[in-house]
Chains A and B, each alone.
Chain A
Amino acid sequence: MSGVVASDLLSYAGYTLEAGLLVYLVVRGYARPLWELAFYLGMSLGVAGARTFTLARYGLTSPQYGNCYWTTDLLLVLAAFVLVASFFRRACSHNQEMWHFVRLLLGTVLIAITIVSYFSLSNHHGKFFSFFIVEFSQNLYFASLVLTTLLYLMTLKMDIADERLGMLVCGLGIEFAGPAAGLALIYLSGGAEISHVIGVYFFPLCDIGMILTWFYAISRVPGPANAPRRVVDGTPAFARGNISHF
């Protein structure tokens, strides 16, 4: 199977799974409680539709497809940042003071990424729009990756009872960390063969891995409302032997 066919198959599998998960969310009534997932999937499918239309009409190497791809990539990265922020909001749902500082952290990161992207343009100010979009998207992508790692550590440290949130964060981690690791491997190996394998198979598989993880998290893992409550025994251990159960 040629790389192009395999890439197309994996791409269409990713679109199909995204659409299937969005339909599942709507049909099973999860679209409102998990609005951020529905928003992200809707955005991703809309972006895919726009890209597919442009690709079919103008071709892969056309400037129109380039414009469409990198502009919609900015929208997609911003949607992913909103998704990470909403996961932080869920993780801090029982601690408003913590959410106050996390909100400040996320806002500061977004502003700092904008400033860093602007100053990294250096001598390309004449092409502000084109370079800034790519710089900002890439920097925000890696910031979201770091924030997702922090969020996962936070869910472990705070012992959050919402197991579904942990799985959703894991899925997002696959989407962010997988391509970053693949690109690092390409950079370290410096070979065209491995970059071909990673580009054709690994990157689309990361997207599919995220959707399947989310599918499992929503369909199999109990949410905060259905999670079994932990039985808290208020009696000190040393006194339990003296309590009569009659």
Chain B
Amino acid sequence: MRNYILTFVLALLVVAASVSLRRAITANAVDVNSATLVAIGPSPAPIPPRATLAIGPSPAPIPPRGTAAIGPSPAPIPPRGQ
């Protein structure tokens, strides 16, 4: 029983550490205006995407934040110039 409790506590610690680490690094991700700080030069889309991490070498598009959406939703609005 004690091992199950320890496992559960460890799982919660892992999740808490993951979410905290993400929030610490990507604190500005929700703020579109400050998120333009990490936009890349004159290229059409930020490289890397604003405060998001992805696996693989493919170039990343603009993440769906604010009015952006995946699927049948309206097209993402680039943060640049806002």
The docked-state distance in angstroms from the alpha carbon of A3 to that of B47 is: 10
B residues near A, CB below 8 A? 3-4, 7-8, 10-12, 14-15, 17-19, 21-22, 24-28, 37-41, 43-48, 51-65, 68-71, 73-76, 78
Q: Are A109 and B59 in contact (CB under 8 A)?
A: no
The docked-state distance in angstroms from the alpha carbon of A204 to that of B14 is: 27
The docked-state distance in angstroms from the alpha carbon of A127 to that of B70 is: 9
The one of A60, A105, A192 that contacts B39, using a Cβ cutoff of 8 Å:
A192
- How many Å from the CB of A204 to the closest CB on chain B? 5
Is there a chain B Cβ closer than 8 Å to A11's Cβ?
yes
Interface of B is mostly: loop
Residues on A with beta carbons closer than 8 Å to the beta carbon of B44: 60-61
Is there a chain B Cβ closer than 8 Å to A22's Cβ?
no
Residues facing B in A156-202 (CB within 8 A) are 175, 179-180, 182-184, 186-187, 190-192, 195-196, 198-200
Q: Are A130 and B56 in contact (CB under 8 A)?
A: no
Q: Are B57 and A15 in contact (CB under 8 A)?
A: yes
Q: Are A73 and B41 in contact (CB under 8 A)?
A: no
Q: Are B62 and A142 in contact (CB under 8 A)?
A: no
The one of B17, B39, B43, B76 that contacts A146, using a Cβ cutoff of 8 Å:
B17
Interface size, A (range): 35 or more
- Which residue on B lies nearest to A142, using beta carbons? B18
A residues near B, CB below 8 A? 3-4, 7, 10-11, 13-15, 44, 47-48, 51-52, 55, 60-63, 65-67, 69-71, 73, 76-77, 80, 101, 104-105, 108-109, 112-113, 116, 127, 129-131, 133-134, 137-139, 141-143, 145-147, 150, 175, 179-180, 182-184, 186-187, 190-192, 195-196, 198-200, 203-204, 207-208
Greatest chain A CB density within 10 A among B54, B74, B75 is at: B54
Given A70-B70, A139-B22: A192 and B55 within 8 A (CB)?
A: no
> Can you list 9 pairs linking A and B with CB atoms under 8 Å apart?
A66-B68, A69-B58, A70-B70, A101-B3, A130-B68, A183-B53, A186-B38, A207-B55, A208-B57
Residues on A with beta carbons closer than 8 Å to the beta carbon of B55: 44, 73, 76-77, 80, 141, 175, 207
Q: Are A61 and B78 in contact (CB under 8 A)?
A: yes
Q: Are A116 and B63 in contact (CB under 8 A)?
A: no
Greatest chain A CB density within 10 A among B7, B54, B57, B65 is at: B57
Greatest chain A CB density within 10 A among B4, B8, B53, B62 is at: B53
The docked-state distance in angstroms from the alpha carbon of A192 to that of B42 is: 11
Given A61-B62, A116-B19: A130 and B71 within 8 A (CB)?
A: yes
